[in-house]
């Protein structure tokens, strides 16, 4: 038996012990499948007209195609350059919940690959040197055992080959989880100075920050601020889902 056969056998064994589940509905999938075809149709992908800053679709009530930025980004300037969200939050909310609280790490990885599949050109055109997942505070990391943003980043890396660096920045402040009702100002205060670089000498000039949900952008801005302070010129982000306050 050669190495390839062994690898295939290992995959089959792993699939028997941990049968792959659909990232959307959580049902066990037939071997070799990654998502139920009908579930993929349920994902509402962000589409044009997109906000040129945060990448969320500009809703009709906001003025649709007549606007360059969404209402949030028009009101509030951001530290990051711009970014992309894959899908509307409501269509993937349960999937993200399971990624965060039900140990569905493989789903996070699938979403990363999906981000690469749908936004690959946009991402590679930026010529990023590294992907930087938004870090968890060490106490939450201990409790959860994994950082879902890192799994998403690894999924992107699987397809685009951009390295993932989890050791550049830490979350030094254990921020309180925000509720949907919390406003943008409260969110900004919550994450202010929450992140600190692990090195004085960041040798990268172009980075993409990776997170699961984009709401007000305050978390991405706080991470971006740390890198800006170190002279990083190009700072973009990608997220699975964009939602509005």
Non-local CB neighbours of 212 within 8 Å, separated by 6+ positions: 96, 99, 100, 108, 148, 149, 152, 239, 240, 241
| Residue selected from 20, 21, 24, 238 as contacting Zn ion according to rule CB under 5 A | 24
Name the minimum Å distance from CB 39 to Zn ion.
3
Is residue 22 involved in binding Zn ion (CB under 5 A)? Answer: yes
Alpha-carbon dihedral of residues 88, 237, 182, 172, nearest 10 degrees? 140
Name which of 137 and 188 has its Cβ closer to Zn ion.
188
Nearest to 28 by CA among 106, 89, 88: 106
Distance CA 151, CA 108 (A): 6
Which string of x and - marks every residue 70-109 that binds Zn ion (by CB under 5 A)?
x--x------------------------------------
User: Using CB under 5 A, which residues numbered 40 to 59 contact Zn ion?
Assistant: 51, 53-54
| CA 2 to the chain's CA centroid | 37
Nearest to 50 by CA among 122, 136, 152, 127: 122
Name the minimum Å distance from CB 151 to Zn ion.
19
Name the minimum Å distance from CB 62 to Zn ion.
9
Name the minimum Å distance from CB 6 to Zn ion.
30
- Point out which residues bind Zn ion (CB under 5 A): 22, 24-25, 36, 39, 51, 53-54, 70, 73
């Amino acid at each position: 038996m050669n190495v390839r056969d062994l690898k295939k056998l290992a995959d089959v064994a792993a699939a028997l012990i941990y049968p792959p589940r659909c990232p959307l509905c959580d049902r066990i999938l037939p071997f070799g499948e990654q998502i139920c075809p009908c579930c993929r149709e349920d994902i509402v992908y962000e589409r044009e007209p997109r906000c040129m800053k945060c990448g969320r679709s500009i809703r009709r009530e906001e003025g649709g195609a007549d606007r360059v930025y969404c209402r949030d980004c028009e009101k509030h300037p951001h530290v990051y350059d711009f970014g992309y969200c894959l899908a509307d939050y409501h269509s993937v909310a349960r999937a993200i919940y399971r990624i965060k609280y039900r140990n569905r790490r493989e789903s996070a990885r699938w979403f990363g690959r999906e981000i690469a599949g749908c936004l690959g050109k946009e991402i590679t055109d930026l010529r990023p040197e590294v992907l930087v997942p938004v870090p968890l505070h060490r106490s939450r990391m201990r409790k959860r055992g994994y950082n879902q943003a890192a799994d998403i980043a690894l999924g992107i890396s699987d397809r685009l080959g951009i390295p993932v660096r989890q050791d550049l920045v830490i979350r030094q402040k254990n921020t309180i989880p925000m509720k949907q009702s919390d406003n943008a100002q409260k969110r900004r205060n919550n994450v202010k100075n929450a992140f600190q670089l692990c090195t004085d000498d960041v040798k990268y000039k172009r980075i993409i920050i990776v997170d699961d949900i984009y709401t007000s952008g305050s978390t991405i801005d706080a991470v971006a601020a740390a890198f800006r302070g170190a002279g990083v010129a190009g700072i973009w982000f990608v997220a699975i889902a964009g939602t509005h306050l």
